[in-house]
Amino acid sequence: MRGEAHVQRGSERRYYRCPTLGCRARRCPADVAEAAVLGAIAQGVLPHALINAARTELRQRLRTPEVALVGRQRSRLLTRLEQLKKQHGWGDLEDVEYLRERDKVRAALRDLPDEDRVTSFDAYRARVLALPEAIAAASPARREELCRIVVERVVVRDREVEAIEWTPPGRPFFEKRQRECPQGDSNP
């Protein structure tokens, strides 16, 4: 669809039309098409049950021995930092030696994997679940940018949105949602 605007009786009217030459499809009012697309994007977030299952799976994976090993390493390095501070405070370590050892320990701490992935997961979860409100509050330019990222094509028939074709990266978030039955799976 291609956007176009016309001035009619002193006010601007926006429409979308098929870009194919010779196509006789009627123009669709821009407000109708945009509301349908943005509404579909806002509903594209994953269901709460699926997000909760992913969070539970993350917690189970973090309990594996290699993650516990990283936790022990982190604990040892933090203890080493405290010991270095004490030794420096007591005068057992010179300033240059203390700074060199402290920087080594801090570098080792930075190289360890992030210790609290569940907190990061929850932060991203909050952003995803707030997507409908963010879309409602977004400027027209930001809405247009979002549509270009996730919408490949919109099919309109008789001035109504018939189908939305999603870009490959956005497809998993939206197509599955369209195929879900609101009453749940009828085949146990």
Query: Does residue 132 lie within any of the structural domains?
Result: no
**Both 117 and 63 in a single domain?**
yes
Burial (0-12, 13-18, 19+ Cβ within 10 Å), 41: buried
Query: Does residue 129 lie within any of the structural domains?
Result: no
**Both 90 and 113 in a single domain?**
yes
Query: Does residue 133 lie within any of the structural domains?
Result: no
**Both 65 and 45 in a single domain?**
no
Query: Does residue 116 lie within any of the structural domains?
Result: yes
Q: pLDDT per position in the chain (188 positions), as tens?
A: 566 777 878 888 887 777 776 777 777 788 888 888 888 888 776 667 777 787 787 777 766 656 567 778 888 999 999 999 999 899 888 999 999 999 999 998 887 766 566 677 777 777 767 778 888 888 888 888 888 788 888 887 777 788 888 888 777 777 654 444 444 554 44
DSSP letter for 71, please.
H
**Both 93 and 109 in a single domain?**
yes
Domain housing 94: 57-121
Domain count, the chain: 2
| pTM beyond cutoff 0.95 | no
Contact predicate 37/164, CB 8 Å: yes
